[in-house]
Amino acid sequence: MPFSKLGLSDPLLRAIADAGYATPSPIQLQAIPAVLNGHDLLAAAQTGTGKTAGFALPLLHRLSQHSYGANRPVRVLILVPTRELAAQVGESVSKYGQHLHPKLKTEVVFGGVKINPQMMRLRGGVDVLVATPGRLLDLIGQNAVKLDKVESLVLDEADRMLDMGFIRDIRKIIALLPKKRQNLLFSATFSEDIRKLTTGLLVNPVKIEVAPRNTAAETVEQIAYLCNKANKAELLCHLIKTNAWQQVLVFTSTKHGANRLTEKLNKVDIKAAAIHGNKSQGARTSALAGFKAGEIRVLVATDVAARGIDIALLPHVVNYELPRAPADYVHRIGRTGRAGEEGQAVSLVSHDEVGGLKLIEKLIGNAIKRQQVEGFEAAAVAPPMPPEPPRAPRPSRNHAARKPAAATGKPGAATGNAKPKPRSYARTPV
């Protein structure tokens, strides 16, 4: 069935044609009519299934049917877990709505950047707001945005938001919304926490499941290379060079590990960059742009920073370290093998990770083929790890060494112990 048969307006169909889409994906085919008809939605959808268009297109159609004029209250609220995904979703919404008249205004807000410019942009009103939960609560606490006119709420990658500990923030935000509204929830996996959230949130939802839960696309080849932990970096370099891999997304468990691996890759002339929570937003954006353009061969990322990475034909995903949660394996490898294209998911598995590999296999319901590379075979018993080089010392936290505050006559001022002014909705940047 073509997009023209789904009930979308001509300006939206024009934007779809501009984007080069010919026919709707399975989730779009089911989600668009349901959202157009005002139903709540519960969708099991992994990254790369076209879910953003599945909710953005019908919501834009509904918004364009009536306008508030210059007043522009927030009518669609889209909550996402990370900055990268927020930017990606905001870009997609703007692209799909480019031919609508009158124009609909979309804004994206997330932490890690200054809040004042975001407050200024919200002053003129906004039709669609894409936000991470923490920054949205900060803006609400500053009276920079009101949510009393929201008609539709979207929770995108809801499982990831709950994994990151946003459940309380999400509930606080939901409490500020009108009771009568449309709710759309998208998740790659379904935990008990997700089921609890949907119980009080969704009303007779249309349920969509475009692929079996907790599984990867059939076009993804999954391989586990058994190796010694100390040889992982050398093995990765060997695989990249021997197989001439040109665009490789590598996952590590820690920010420090991402930095160390990036340094090792660059030392052997494999151009690499790291993205994680300690990197500035500018550095993360630059690294991702270079990776997409082919200027950076390997992008090393933590799970949180990788949310929102959207590359249509990403050929290789490498688990340098297996994720702590088996469901994160599904999220990671869901970035390759998209839209029916072939992809490869490689895991480097050391002795202490074999148990984790078995848990992943139990979750996905399939055995992952195990291989060894000549010269990098795993020892029968885990060998001792060489000591890591010492990390740079952190700045001193000695309070006595701090410069005393100037006397103000207020209690605690001279010693620097004045209590900070409490903020109702302060959150760690996302």
Domain span at residue 188? 3-209
Q: How many domains does the chain have?
A: 2
Residues 304, 262 within the same domain: yes
Whether residue 356 has pLDDT greater than 50: yes
| Rounded mean pLDDT, 211-216 | 57
Place of tokens 């519960």: 42
β-pairing, 272-275 vs 248-251, is unpaired
Structure token pair of residue 133: 């939960």
Give pTM, 2 decimals: 0.66
Residues 180, 329 within the same domain: no
The predicted pLDDT at position 411 comes to 46
| Rounded mean pLDDT, 407-420 | 46
Which has more confidence, 326 or 95?
A: 95
% pLDDT > 70, the chain = 84
The answer to whether residue 410 is domain-embedded is: no
The predicted pLDDT at position 102 comes to 84
Whether residue 394 has pLDDT greater than 70: no
The answer to whether residue 143 is domain-embedded is: yes
Whether residue 83 has pLDDT greater than 50: yes
Residues 157, 279 within the same domain: no
Residues 279, 189 within the same domain: no
Backbone angles phi, psi at 83, to 5 degrees: -60, -45
The answer to whether residue 399 is domain-embedded is: no
Place of tokens 């606490």: 141
The answer to whether residue 165 is domain-embedded is: yes
Which strands form 106-109's sheet, in the order they lie side by side? 106-109, 128-131, 76-79, 152-155, 182-187, 41-44, 206-209
Confidence bin at 32 (pLDDT 50/70/90): very high
Tens digits of residue pLDDT in 36-58: 999 999 998 766 678 999 999 99
The predicted pLDDT at position 140 comes to 97
Residues 33, 181 within the same domain: yes
Tens digits of residue pLDDT in 263-302: 999 999 999 999 987 888 788 888 988 998 899 999 999 8
Whether residue 229 has pLDDT greater than 60: yes
Last residue of a domain, one of 334, 349, 371: 371
The answer to whether residue 392 is domain-embedded is: no
Residues 200, 244 within the same domain: no
Residues 205, 261 within the same domain: no
Whether residue 230 has pLDDT greater than 60: yes
Residues 93, 240 within the same domain: no
Confidence bin at 393 (pLDDT 50/70/90): low
The predicted pLDDT at position 387 comes to 66
**DSSP states of 212-234 as a string?**
-TT---TTEEEEEEE--GGGHHH
The predicted pLDDT at position 307 comes to 64
Distances (CA, A) of 189 to 44, 46, 161, 213, 251: 7, 8, 12, 6, 19
Confidence bin at 69 (pLDDT 50/70/90): low
Last residue of a domain, one of 335, 351, 371: 371
The answer to whether residue 200 is domain-embedded is: yes
The answer to whether residue 400 is domain-embedded is: no
The predicted pLDDT at position 38 comes to 96
CB count, 10 Å around CB of 125?
A: 16
The predicted pLDDT at position 202 comes to 94
Structure token pair of residue 213: 């839960």
CA neighbours closer than 13 Å in the CB half-sphere of residue 134:
18
Structure token pair of residue 34: 């349901």
Whether residue 225 has pLDDT greater than 90: yes
Residues 19, 165 within the same domain: yes
| Alpha helices for 243-393 (secondary structure H) | 255-267, 281-292, 303-306, 326-333, 354-364
Residues 18-26: contacts with CB within 8 Å, 24+ apart?
18/95, 18/98, 19/95, 19/96, 21/53, 24/50, 25/49, 25/50, 25/53, 25/54, 25/210, 25/339, 26/210
The predicted pLDDT at position 47 comes to 67
β-pairing, 272-275 vs 128-131, is unpaired
Structure token pair of residue 119: 């407050």
- The region of weakest confidence among 75-84, 124-133, 148-157, 210-219 is 210-219
| Rounded mean pLDDT, 91-109 | 94
| Rounded mean pLDDT, 96-114 | 93
Last residue of a domain, one of 162, 178, 209: 209
The predicted pLDDT at position 407 comes to 46
The predicted pLDDT at position 389 comes to 61
Residues 203, 243 within the same domain: no
> For the domain that residue 264 is a member of, what is the CATH number?
3.40.50.300
Q: What is the mean pLDDT of the chain?
A: 86
Residues 146, 239 within the same domain: no
Residues 148, 275 within the same domain: no
Which has more confidence, 307 or 258?
A: 258
The answer to whether residue 397 is domain-embedded is: no
Backbone angles phi, psi at 158, to 5 degrees: -60, -35
Whether residue 403 has pLDDT greater than 70: no
Sign of CA dihedral 37, 38, 44, 47: positive
